[in-house]
Amino acid sequence: MSKENITILAIESSCDETSAAVCVDGTILSNNIATQAMHAAYGGVIPELASRAHLQNIVPVVDTALQKAGIKLAAIDAIAFTQAPGLIGSLLVGGQFAKSLALALDKPLIAVNHMQAHVLANLIPDKKPAFPFLCLTVSGGHTQIVRCNSPAQMQILGETIDDAAGEAFDKSAKLLGLPYPGGPLIDKYAAKGDPNRFQFPEPKIPGYNFSFSGLKTSILYFLMNAGKSLVYKPAFTATEEERKQFIENNLNDICASVQHRIITILLHKLTKAAKDAGIRDICIAGGVSANSGLRQAFTEAGIKNNWNTFIPDFQYCTDNAGMIAITGYYKYLAGDFAALSVQSAARSSL
């Protein structure tokens, strides 16, 4: 493809962020994100409310992304959108908007897989990983170790068999009485705590797969027992008041210890996968890659194991259209366009 100034408008609406981005020749000119704050009151994302908020947000969010980039609609070469996976009602809003715009402007449509896009967020900066590279993708719905052979060819080496890493953060936070999404709050309190104060178990799962449900149960009993034990025993069960006091007096250390265990579970598997594959260009991606403890531990693991490490900028970790735009750009170069009849899907593999 010899054309220059390939300009992609991208739309992301898979969960509770309405986002639009513009990218020209692989450089992101704008990445506009509207976060839906109303879900915090319910302790999690309410799909119906998310769809309605996307409907309200989508036009101003796209408009602002174009303005920030200084790009007119007429200059757009293709429209990329998140086709799967995600909340179906949310996906449909972005998908229908993208299709309508593609039809009205008579421009090609590009359907993007959200998990592929999280990985390719690592191709946004000038300093890019070389293929093949490994990526640990850690988000609210997924936890995967992916071998990325090219922008289009990815293979999942391991993934969670129950909860995702983001869920482990959010559910632990909920048990501690913190609002949704709890991941960033655990990160904040952990920074002031002792990661070795409380010992939570590391599960023994074969291969490169992960499990976080046992950790969740340990934390549940640990808090029920006001720190006396990780297992259920009627004699250890504390009163409501004792539990509240225990959390209040130890919040920083509990958050640091929970975060430390989630990070060691993730990095032990990533280190094993990298060693076995003989790959040294290693990335992280997804909402949990915004975690400061993980970013630091990953960088340290890189120094220890002689890896070239790559971490997306914060704005490209949690859900954003910039990652959809960069993926759209590589799909444009490959001539990988979608028909207007393409359907959004709640589930899909890479």
Q: How far is the CB of 164 from ligand KG4 (least distance, A)?
A: 7
Cα distances (Å, whole numbers) of residue 206 to 161, 167, 209, 261, 266: 11, 21, 7, 18, 13
Q: How far is the CB of 1 from Zn ion (least distance, A)?
A: 28
Task: Check: CB of residue 122 under 8 Å from CB of residue 327.
Answer: no
Q: Does 143 bind Zn ion (CB under 5 A)?
A: no
Q: Does 288 bind ligand KG4 (CB under 6 A)?
A: yes
Q: How far is the CB of 59 from Zn ion (least distance, A)?
A: 23
Q: What is the torsional sign of CA 300, 134, 336, 118?
A: negative
Q: Does 227 bind ligand KG4 (CB under 6 A)?
A: no
Q: Which stretch binds ligand KG4 (CB under 6 A): 102-110, 146-154, 177-185, 211-219?
A: 177-185
Task: Check: CB of residue 165 under 8 Å from CB of residue 313.
Answer: no
Choose, by CB under 6 A, the member of 11, 62, 290, 338 that binds ligand KG4.
290
Closest-CA residue to 3 (of 108, 154, 120, 153): 108
| CA separation for the pair 217, 174 (Å, rounded) | 13
Choose, by CB under 6 A, the member of 69, 93, 110, 170 that binds ligand KG4.
170
Neighbours of 141 (CB within 10 A): 18
Instruction: Look at strands 281-285 and 7-12 and give their pairing.
Output: unpaired
Contact partner at residue 274 from Zn ion, ligand KG4, none, CB < 5 to 8 Å by partner kind: none
Give the nearer residue to Zn ion in terms of CB position, either 257 or 289: 289
Give the nearer residue to ligand KG4 in terms of CB position, either 81 or 332: 81
Cα distances (Å, whole numbers) of residue 75 to 7, 167, 245, 330: 7, 40, 60, 18
Q: Taking CB under 6 A as the rule, which mask of x and - marks residues 113-152 in contact with ligand KG4?
A: --------------------------xxx-----------
# residues contacting Zn ion (CB under 5 A): 2
Q: Does 160 bind ligand KG4 (CB under 6 A)?
A: no
- State the amino acid at position 224 in one-letter form: M
Q: How far is the CB of 184 from Zn ion (least distance, A)?
A: 15
Site for Zn ion in 324-343 (CB under 5 A): none
| CA separation for the pair 217, 243 (Å, rounded) | 16
Q: Does 94 bind ligand KG4 (CB under 6 A)?
A: no
Closest-CA residue to 96 (of 65, 64, 55): 55
Give the nearer residue to ligand KG4 in terms of CB position, either 291 or 344: 291
Q: In what order do the strands lie in the sheet with 143-148?
A: 154-159, 143-148, 133-138, 281-285, 308-310
Q: Does 139 bind Zn ion (CB under 5 A)?
A: yes
Choose, by CB under 6 A, the member of 95, 151, 166, 193 that binds ligand KG4.
166
CA-CA-CA-CA dihedral for 185, 120, 154, 163, to nearest 10: 10
Q: What are the residues binding ligand KG4 (CB under 6 A)?
A: 15, 139-141, 166, 169-170, 181, 183-184, 187, 286-288, 290-291, 318-319
Q: What are the residues binding Zn ion (CB under 5 A)?
A: 139, 319
